[in-house]
Structures are given as structure tokens and as C-alpha cells.
Amino acid sequence: MKREHAVVVGGSMAGLLAARVLTAHFERVTLVERDRFPAEAVFRPGVPQARHLHVLWTRGREIVEVLFPGLEDTLRAAGAEELRVPADVLWLTSAGWRERFDVTRLLTFSRPLLDRAVRARLTGPPDGDRTRVDVLDGHRVTGLIPRGGDAAGVRLDGDGELHADLVVDATGRGSRAPSWLAELGHPAPLETRVDPLLGYASRYYAIPPGFDPGWKALYLQADPPATRRTGGLFPQEGGRWICSLSGAGRDHGPTEEKAFLEFAKGLRSPVLYEAIRDAEPLTPIVAFRRTANHRRHYERLPTWPRGFVVTGDAACAFNPIYGQGMSVAAVAALALDRCLRDPRPGFERRFQRGVARSAAGAWLVATGEDLRYRETEAAPVRLRTRVINAYVDEVVAAANVDRRVCEGLVRVLALMAAPTSLFTPGVLARVAAHRVRRPAPVPLPSRPC
């Protein structure tokens, strides 16, 4: 494969991170985005989930900092908040309140703040040996330029064309890659879908002056199948909270003012409702409903075109309630770099397998949890999944009071360890010991310490 020109389709976080990697391998990199990129840190239509809660878990945070040294300082200077997890988070799990261990760190910020900071680094003066990224926004890619059964670039609206040695599809859930592959003579991928029928509603509030309850963030989880509602309240730049309320099984977070507060009041603890009840709303309430876990198994296709790969949500999208999408995209960006450094032929196939591996742990976490809801639309739940979920319930309960188990669980959530790490002898022994001495459950307090 020649390394003259690479085209990234889609200005998602997966696309931005892929573009950064490509600058170390290609003479030219072009990013094509159908939206117009705003100059300021504001929302844009192509990222509807941006108006809801975002965090960057540990693994994603580390990778992004490697790709963009000093970016974290830029975000912190703009007001992004660092949280010790779970020390700074009042966290109600399905098994009760979690003790406030200091296990890891994560950043919380608005999505527009992160996107603007990353775009500024990509399109600014090149540093080191990498090339600058050229941005072609306000243009839609309509298909691939064929070269036999391979890809030689992209077709643009208005009959334009961009010839390239490599095309990266990072267009997210709405990716048209299956039809593009069909046009080149390749079969469509098998797809797996696990849909908990979950819907968000979110809005920003001003953090009340002097508010200091002893926590910085609040996360009240559902307890499926008994309860389907989740609430999160996290600080963001500008002295704001973002409050996201969600419900599975079509028990969606509402967008009407009174209903929004009533929904918050009906969570498993009233502590979130009590925090926002008298807080000043800063924005309207906005909804988001496209939350199904959706995986396209490109790694299993018998044939694959040269000059084309798929990454990010275009390959594997997660229920965003678990906050793992951007971190998985970052892991996939590292896989892209590794595959491009490998001189053997078959780069594209190796990368699609790498994308599948990058998403595997997060997929197990997200779908394992979402299959607990009776209303979830998916293939029948296998006995193996039920047994694993029963064990995970015990892990969650032990993690609430055992620092070492909590650290192991959070490392899985933060993509620092595979889910199989929860089945090591050390974790199994501590979970078993907790089960033996576990006291009877107590009622939930409204204002936990």
C-alpha cells in the first residue's frame, strides 16, 4: 500500500483519533465531515449524543494524552474536572452504596470542549514528524471509488472525488459501509444487536454557590430487572452540572419540566432530585433514544477490499450509559498505528480484527448489563450469560466494601483490564469471603454520608 494520501470519513472522536495516527504514516491526511465544524466549543447536529453526559475513562485518557501531549492540561485549563473514582463519586450500585475508595481518575467535560481541543491540535501547525490534517467539512461522502474489488478513494456529493490510498470510515452508527462494500462486490457483515430500549433526557444546571455535600459527582444506577431508571449528575466546565436521566424498557427520561423532576424523584435515592430541585436550569431538556448496542462483524467477512477500513461506532456501538465509546475508539486508534507499522500484506484484515478485539471487553460489559432488562430486544439469553451475571452481582456487592475487589471492577470499566480478570483466584476468594459474611440489606438513606 502506498502512503501518499489517507481520507478519514467522519469527524467523530474515532475519526479525529484515527486522523492523528494517520499523520505519522501518510504524506497527506484529509478529514471529510458533512457538518460544518464550529469555531467555538458548541454542539453540532452530527453528534446528537454530545448534549449528554461524557467521561473519559482511564485507558482512553492515557491514549489521548499520548497522541496529543499536553491536551489534558488544555482541558483542565478550560475547566474540565478530574474526579477520583469512586472517592469523589456518590455511587449507588445495584447492591447499595459504594464506599469511597480512591481507585482511579477520570475527566468529565462537555463533548464540544474535547472536540474543539482535539481539532485545534490536528489542524494547527504540525509538531514532530507528523503531517497536518486538511479538513473538508460541509461535504457528504456518497460512496467509494472502485478499483476492481478495492477502494481507491471516496465520491463526494456534487460529483466530486477524493483519490486516496486508504479510506477510514468513522461515520458512527449511521455508517453506510455495508452498502459500500456491496458496491465493491463484497458481502454484508453479520450484525449483532442488543437493544435495552433505553432513552436519555439531559440538561445543564448551575452548581449552587457554596454547594458542598462531600461529593463532586453522583451516579444512581438502576437495579434490573426490579428498576430501570438511572441518574447521573457530574460537574463540567463553567461551574455547571450536567444531569442525565435514563430509563430502559421505554421508561425514557422525559423532556417536560415537571415530569423530569418527578422522574428524578423516582430514582432509587432522592439525593439527585434534592440536588437539582432548587438549582438554576441553564438549558432546555434534550432527549436521546438511539442507544442500542450494535456490532457489525467485519472481522468475519471472507473477503475485504484493499484501501478501506471501518472504526469506532461504525463497527461497534455501545449503549452510551456506560461511557466507554470514546475510550474504545482510542484503543482502536492504537490498533491502527500497530497495523500500519506492520510491513506484512493484509493490513486491512488485521486492523478489522484489531477493532473487534478493542471492543470485546466493553461489549461484554454493556450487553451483559443490558440483557438484565426483561424488555431488552436481543437473541435469547444463554445460560452462560445468566451464570456470569449472577457472579458479577456478587462482585459488585463485594466491590462496595472491599477496596481490592473495587479496584479490579473499576479497572474493567476503565478498560485497563479484561472482564476475565474478575475471575482470577484472588478476586474469586475475596468475593466468596464477602458472600459468607455479607449482612442483611438495609434501607437506602436519602442523604448518605
Q: Which residue has the higher pLDDT, 362 or 48?
A: 362
Residue at 419 is within a domain = no
In the chain, % helix, strand, coil (3-state, to 5) comes to 35, 25, 40
Domain match, 302 and 282 both: no
Number of H helices, E strands in the chain: 12, 22
C-alpha span between 200 and 196 (Å, rounded): 12
Domain match, 128 and 213 both: no
Domain match, 284 and 298 both: no
End-of-domain residue from the set 359, 386, 415: 359
pLDDT score for 442: 44
Q: What is the pLDDT of residues 10-28, one digit of tens each?
A: 999 999 999 999 999 999 9
Domain match, 234 and 275 both: yes
Residue at 138 is within a domain = yes
Q: What is the pLDDT of residues 415-430, one digit of tens each?
A: 999 999 999 999 999 9
Is 107 within 8 Å of 82 (Cβ atoms)? yes
End-of-domain residue from the set 359, 391, 409: 359
End-of-domain residue from the set 288, 310, 338: 288
Residue at 39 is within a domain = yes
pLDDT score for 359: 97
pLDDT score for 46: 77
C-alpha span between 118 and 120 (Å, rounded): 5
* Domain housing 238: 199-288
| Whole-number percent of the chain with pLDDT over 90 | 88
pLDDT score for 200: 93
User: Per-residue pLDDT averaged across 246-267, rounded?
Assistant: 97
Q: Which residue has the higher pLDDT, 448 or 67?
A: 67
Residue at 62 is within a domain = no
CATH at 278: 3.30.70.2450
Domain match, 226 and 267 both: yes
Q: What is the pLDDT of residues 303-314, one digit of tens each?
A: 999 999 999 999
Domain match, 149 and 281 both: no
Residue at 441 is within a domain = no
Q: What is the pLDDT of residues 177-201, one digit of tens each?
A: 999 999 999 999 999 999 999 999 9
Q: What is the pLDDT of residues 375-386, one digit of tens each?
A: 999 999 999 999
CB burial of residue 241 (10 Å; 0-12, 13-18, 19+): buried
Domain match, 159 and 141 both: yes
pLDDT score for 120: 92
Res 396 pLDDT > 60? yes
User: Per-residue pLDDT averaged across 3-16, rounded?
Assistant: 96
CATH at 172: 3.50.50.60
Residue at 215 is within a domain = yes
Res 449 pLDDT > 50? no
Residue at 448 is within a domain = no
As a whole number, the mean pLDDT across the chain is 93
Number of domains in the chain: 2
Domain match, 326 and 221 both: no
Domain match, 283 and 160 both: no
Q: What is the pLDDT of residues 42-72, one digit of tens each?
A: 888 777 777 888 888 999 999 999 999 999 9
Domain match, 302 and 175 both: yes
> Beta partners for 244?
202, 232
Single-letter amino acid code for the residue at 137: D
Spatial CA neighbour of 246 closest among 280, 289, 215: 289
Res 325 pLDDT > 60? yes
Spatial CA neighbour of 408 closest among 394, 422, 389: 422
pLDDT score for 126: 66
Res 241 pLDDT > 80? yes
Residue at 422 is within a domain = no
Is 117 within 8 Å of 13 (Cβ atoms)? no
Domain match, 212 and 265 both: yes
Domain match, 44 and 137 both: yes
> Beta partners for 146?
151
pLDDT score for 67: 96
Res 439 pLDDT > 70? no
